[in-house]
Amino acid sequence: MFEALTDAKPDAILALMASFREDTRDNKLDLGVGIYKDEKGGTPVMRSIKAAEKALHESQNTKAYVSPTGDALFREAMVKQVFGDAGPTDRIACVQAVGGSGALRIVGDLLRKASPAATVHISDPSWPNHVPLLGATGLALGTYPYFDSASGSVDIEGMLGYLNALPKGDIVVLHGCCHNPTGADLTEEQWLKVADVVEARGLFPLVDLAYQGFGDGLDEDAAAVRMLAARVPEMAVAASCSKNFGIYRERVGAAMLLAPDAAQAARALANISSVVRANYSMPPDHGANATRMIFADEKLYADWRVELEAMRLRMLTLRQSFADHMRKRSNSDRFDAIAEQKGMFSRLPLSSAEITSLRVDHAVYLVGDGRINVAGLPDDPERMAELCDAIATVMNAS
């Protein structure tokens, strides 16, 4: 059986994680995988999650199955968090999912079932797993221009031009906030232009919302989703709790489907439940249950908001510090945009030889396309200066 298999290409981010683990140098620096790191370089369990887990441990008296759709209160709270208090809840179907990736996959499978001839369009560049994940649904893939590396901002004309030529019913994957890997987000004005095209051409937006709360704030980061929801008859959102609740390994997310009316939302829910049942039957409970307890408890919720805001603000400070250091070290404004970009990632304007040299000669790990995890940047000014020296050194050498 297995002799028929050809070698599988390793995922760029997972391969980088593995080589970082194997590196024995004391001064190694991980700017690779997207997990939040604190000033000590660790990813501790958040206070609010610890407290919720403790309460859960004491109160839980069964581990019986949940259901393919997951916990009802968790889903309700997630819909509110994403679509806001005034969201069109009667038109929204939501199921708990196995992380944001699981949400993307079940939405993708459902869309393939609903519209097998549609093409799903992904930004260039995008999270490296978008292509294999959505490609595995059987939907055809396309890529739309997104990033202008010279300015470090969105190539809005290129993007709009591409979207304007798409046939009705095609699916467009949009990063709701904190674009991965560039950190270049659409401005409010640009979102409105994208919404105009999506509406005029009858495209289906699939919003990947993996970093809500890491950009401009919890509600601010959902503004684009809410604006789209007020304008389009149908859309989907794949939301993740991995980053904003720091529960990466618990695999908690939500797949949300906005339908034209309540009857179609109910049908969409029944269909996505079948997709779940045929795939992994039911979602895991622990992380979603802890998250639900935070949503349900005023004090825990307030504490979680404080923790989330501290992470967001720390990443902003690191962005500014890195851009300032790089301006001095490189004697150029090439890195200035990093201070303006949003969320956990930015893409350094480096060649692949420079990125390799950073890893091999300086023990600095970043993804092969130049993506850095901003939260992995050192707070310590000396370490930051060392990092920026290393970057300037590899740039000067080439």
Q: Which residues are catalytic?
A: 127, 208, 210, 243
Tracing tokens 């939301």 back to the chain, one arrives at: 239
C-alpha of 343 from chain center: 9
Task: Name every residue whose Cβ is closer than 8 Å to that of residue 176 and which is 6 or more positions away in sequence.
Answer: 207, 208, 209, 212, 221, 222, 224, 225, 237
| DSSP-derived 3-state class of residue 242 | coil
- Comparing CA positions, the residue from 34, 1, 15, 25 lying closest to residue 101 is 34
Joined tokens for residue 203: 């495209």
Contact between 212 and ligand LMR by CB under 6 A: the answer reads no
Main-chain phi, psi angles of 241, to 5 degrees: -105, 5
CB of 36 to ligand LMR, least distance (A): 11
CB closer to ligand LMR out of 13 and 134: 13
Residues of this chain, 12-31, that bind ligand LMR according to CB under 6 A: 13
* 174 scored as a contact of ligand LMR (CB under 6 A): no
Q: Which of residues 74-133 bind ligand LMR (CB under 6 A)?
A: 127, 129
53 or 208, CB closer to ligand LMR?
208
Torsion of CA 316, 322, 364, 8, to 10 degrees: 50
Q: Which of 69, 126, 137, 180 binds ligand LMR (CB under 6 A)?
A: 180
Which of 13/195 has CB closer to ligand LMR? Answer: 13
Which one, 16 or 52, has the nearer CB to ligand LMR?
Answer: 16
Which of 33/141 has CB closer to ligand LMR?
A: 33
Count of positions on this chain that bind ligand LMR (CB under 6 A): 6
34 is an interface residue for ligand LMR by CB under 6 A: yes
Query: Which residue has the closest beta carbon to ligand LMR?
Result: 34
Cα–Cα distance measured from residue 222 to residue 227, given in angstroms and rounded to the nearest whole number: 9
Could you give the CA distance from residue 97 to residue 106 in angstroms, rounded to a whole number? 8
Interaction between residue 33 and ligand LMR (CB under 6 A)? yes
Residues that bind ligand LMR (CB under 6 A): 13, 33-34, 127, 129, 180
